[in-house]
Amino acid sequence: MTQKRQLLPIMSWGRDYDRDKLVADLLAAVIVMVMLIPQSLAYALVAGLPPEMGLYASILPLMVYTFFGSSRVLSVGPVAVLSLMTAAALGGLQLASNAEYIVAALTLAFLSGAFLLILGLLRMGFLANFMSHPVVTGFITASAVIIILSQVQHLLGISSHGYTLPELLPSLLVSVTQINTATALLSLGTLLWLFWSRNGMSVLLQRMGMSSTRALLLARTSPVLAVIVTTVVVWYFDLQAAGIAIVGDIPSGLPSPTMPSFSLELWQGLAGSAALLAIIGFVESVSVAQGLAAKQRERIDPDQELIGLGASNIAAGFSGGFPVAGGFSRSVVNYDAGAATPAAGFFAAILIAVVTLLFVPLLAWLPKATLAATIIVAVWSLVDFAILRQAWRYSMADFLGVSTTIVLTLLAGVEVGVAAGILVSLVVHLYKTSRPHVAIVGELPGTEHFRNVNRHQVQTYDTILSIRIDESLYFANTRYLEDIIYGMVAERPNLRHVILMCTAVNEIDMSAMDSILTISTRLDEIGIKLHLSEVKGPVMDGLLRTDFLSKLSGHVFLSQHQAVEALK
């Protein structure tokens, strides 16, 4: 079923909502809530914000998305990469106080949401296409490495700073002597539990007779168990005295309405970061949503997703949150848990609100090391350096894009890394299309097929040069085209006709049209006519709207065979 575009997708699925769907949605909501709480607290830590902001970012933004988003199962909230980018963006501002830092986070969410909303209303979702897969994978890999390294301090009870290797590594090394043993042991235990429950637990549960889906879902709740157990242990044995850092008092109650700043100076400082955050969050969300929708022969509307995410982020800015997006793991859990409509997300948000209201004060004794371990296990699977080897084997262009992204993200930070990756991909792509594959062709004897003279025994003539161009002609390759044709002509003194075979030319833009006419004029001056053959319908339509045909020294032939027959 293809969904029609409308500002409030709830209008389409809300109409036939029934009891069965309600039950499915409520069940999914409970499972997602259990998974989201530790993750939300942890990502707030990554972003350098108080843990409750992670919860707040999972309430109103998630509710708002269910009204405006086009995906049935996307679960919106804090995600790893955006949390890191938030920390890096705010860290660059050199803010005076914690309060200013929090306002800057609200403002970043607001600006990023406004940017998404504007793109959505202008239907500019295609901008996300400028991020290639290798760049996205490379960026996420490098970001995950940075996130893991930035959490090592909490695992060991030491302190480090920065969001690049040159900052993080030295600051970890100088404090390596101050490792707190109790913290390190607690971390080790938590990490072992989490890694085991991720890989071994569902196998065990299945051996015990549980279905694989239920076993996987149960394994996903292991972080909550870690949170509860370590909190109780630290509280009961008063391990704070042994040097284990805890989260401390968290204000209970729902978020009170907040305001992003409207200071022009702050906006200028955050605008670039907000735009990058928006694009990255959008790319991640759309990839997840598109994949899950296809599983059910459904589609999502990228422009509607922009509006949904935009509204969510604006909501985050006004309800004590920070930048949010559709997360991969939580959306998959939502899907696997059987969410039937976006209402599942709405119910999950209500449940999180209830937990925030009732149980949050109990989290004061939650060790930071537990959250750090949760984060590390969550982002561990994002690290994929194999992409480097794959890209290397496949093409130099893709390798350049991915290696630039990874190296610069690690060395110079997330914003430089992703911006450079996008730029390098674009320049490399343009470079490739600016030097298209061009073959001199001849006729296979006895057929009407024309093939590369270098690969086949074909019939050619001294007076006719047939050139097949394997690329659309546009401004980036017109100069190359002129150059290569003049070069071929200069080597052939008996030449009378040049025929451009356009089977693979999907477009001729105005620059290319001008170039062809320039070539035609130049060749005409030395007694050579320029012809085209096999021009595609839409390309020909464009040329016919101009005086191209009357200016071309030669003719346009329907087929290469006809051209050679007429001119030989």
- Residues 516-535 touching its own copies, rule: CB under 8 A, are 518-519, 522-523, 525-526
Name which of residues 35 to 64 contact its own copies (CB under 8 A). none
Q: Does 477 bind its own copies (CB under 8 A)?
A: yes
Which residue's CB is nearer to its own copies, number 214 or number 435? 435
For residue 58, give the nearest of 47, 48, 43, 46 by alpha carbon. 43
Give the residue, chosen from 6, 159, 211, 546, that forms a contact with its own copies under the rule CB under 8 A: 546
Which residue's CB is nearer to its own copies, number 316 or number 400? 400
Q: Does 475 bind its own copies (CB under 8 A)?
A: yes
Q: Please state the closest distance from residue 518 (CB atom) to its own copies, in A.
A: 7
Which residue's CB is nearer to its own copies, number 154 or number 531? 531
The DSSP bridge partners found for residue 497 are: 464, 529
Side chain identity at 179, as an amino acid letter?
A: I
Name which of residues 419 to 448 contact its own copies (CB under 8 A). 425-426, 429-437
Which residue's CB is nearer to its own copies, number 224 or number 444? 444
Which residue's CB is nearer to its own copies, number 212 or number 506? 506
Name which of residues 451 to 470 contact its own copies (CB under 8 A). 470
Q: Please state the closest distance from residue 206 (CB atom) to its own copies, in A.
A: 21
Give the residue, chosen from 15, 491, 494, 550, that forms a contact with its own copies under the rule CB under 8 A: 491
Q: Does 216 bind its own copies (CB under 8 A)?
A: no
Q: Please state the closest distance from residue 44 (CB atom) to its own copies, in A.
A: 31
Which residue's CB is nearer to its own copies, number 234 or number 293? 293
Which residue's CB is nearer to its own copies, number 21 or number 133? 133
Pair 208, 122: CB distance under 8 Å: no
Chain center to CA of 514: 38
Give the residue, chosen from 176, 354, 357, 510, that forms a contact with its own copies under the rule CB under 8 A: 510
Q: Residues with Cβ < 8 Å from 289, sequence gap 6 or more?
A: 69, 70, 71, 73, 74, 300, 305, 326, 331
Q: Please state the closest distance from residue 231 (CB atom) to its own copies, in A.
A: 40
Instruction: Select from 56-64, 226-234, 442-450, 505-513 the region that touches its own copies (CB under 8 A).
Output: 505-513
Side chain identity at 326, as an amino acid letter?
A: G
Q: Please state the closest distance from residue 298 (CB atom) to its own copies, in A.
A: 7
> Can you read off the two tokens belonging to residue 99?
């309060």
In which region does residue 474 sit, left (phi positive, over 0), alpha (psi from -120 to 50) or beta (all else)? beta
State how far the alpha carbon of 90 is from the alpha carbons of 234, 409, 438, in Å.
32, 17, 50
Give the residue, chosen from 384, 448, 462, 483, that forms a contact with its own copies under the rule CB under 8 A: 483
Q: Please state the closest distance from residue 294 (CB atom) to its own copies, in A.
A: 4
Name which of residues 180 to 199 contact its own copies (CB under 8 A). none
Name which of residues 135 to 154 contact its own copies (CB under 8 A). 135
Q: Regarding beta strands 529-533 and 497-501, do their DSSP bridges make them parallel or antiparallel, or are they unpaired?
A: parallel
For residue 418, give the nearest of 106, 113, 138 by alpha carbon. 138
Degrees (nearest 5) of the Cα angle 289, 290, 296?
95
CA distance 567 to 565: 6
Which residue's CB is nearer to its own copies, number 214 or number 492? 492
Q: Does 175 bind its own copies (CB under 8 A)?
A: no
Degrees (nearest 5) of the Cα angle 432, 434, 436?
75
Q: Does 544 bind its own copies (CB under 8 A)?
A: no
CA distance 533 to 517: 15
Kindly give the interhelix angle for 19-46 and 343-358, rounded to the nearest 10 degrees.
Answer: 50
Q: Please state the closest distance from residue 100 (CB atom) to its own copies, in A.
A: 30
Which residue's CB is nearer to its own copies, number 167 or number 534? 534
Q: Does 502 bind its own copies (CB under 8 A)?
A: no
State how far the alpha carbon of 185 is from the alpha carbons of 188, 191, 233, in Å.
5, 10, 13
Name which of residues 376 to 395 contact its own copies (CB under 8 A). 390-391, 393-395
Give the residue, chosen from 132, 183, 190, 466, that forms a contact with its own copies under the rule CB under 8 A: 132
Q: Regarding beta strands 529-533 and 438-443, do their DSSP bridges make them parallel or antiparallel, or are they unpaired?
A: unpaired
Instruction: Select from 260-268, 321-329, 371-379, 498-506 the region that touches its own copies (CB under 8 A).
Output: 498-506
Q: Residues with Cβ < 8 Å from 160, sequence gap 6 or more?
A: 149, 150, 152, 153, 168, 171, 172, 175
Pair 105, 322: CB distance under 8 Å: yes
Which residue's CB is nearer to its own copies, number 89 or number 508? 508
Q: Does 246 bind its own copies (CB under 8 A)?
A: no
For its own copies, how many residues bind (rule: CB under 8 A)?
Answer: 77
CA distance 553 to 519: 10
CA distance 299 to 281: 19
Which residue's CB is nearer to its own copies, number 136 or number 314? 136
Pair 350, 234: CB distance under 8 Å: no
Name which of residues 107 to 126 contact its own copies (CB under 8 A). 126
Name which of residues 268 to 307 contact its own copies (CB under 8 A). 286, 290-291, 293-295, 297-299, 302
The H or E element that residue 529 is part of is strand 529-533
The H or E element that residue 265 is part of is helix 264-294
Pair 288, 74: CB distance under 8 Å: yes
Q: Please state the closest distance from residue 441 (CB atom) to its own copies, in A.
A: 13
Which residue's CB is nearer to its own copies, number 123 or number 161? 123
Q: Does 369 bind its own copies (CB under 8 A)?
A: no
The DSSP bridge partners found for residue 532 are: 500, 556
Which residue's CB is nearer to its own copies, number 61 or number 302? 302
Q: How many CB atoms lie within 10 A of CB 55?
A: 27
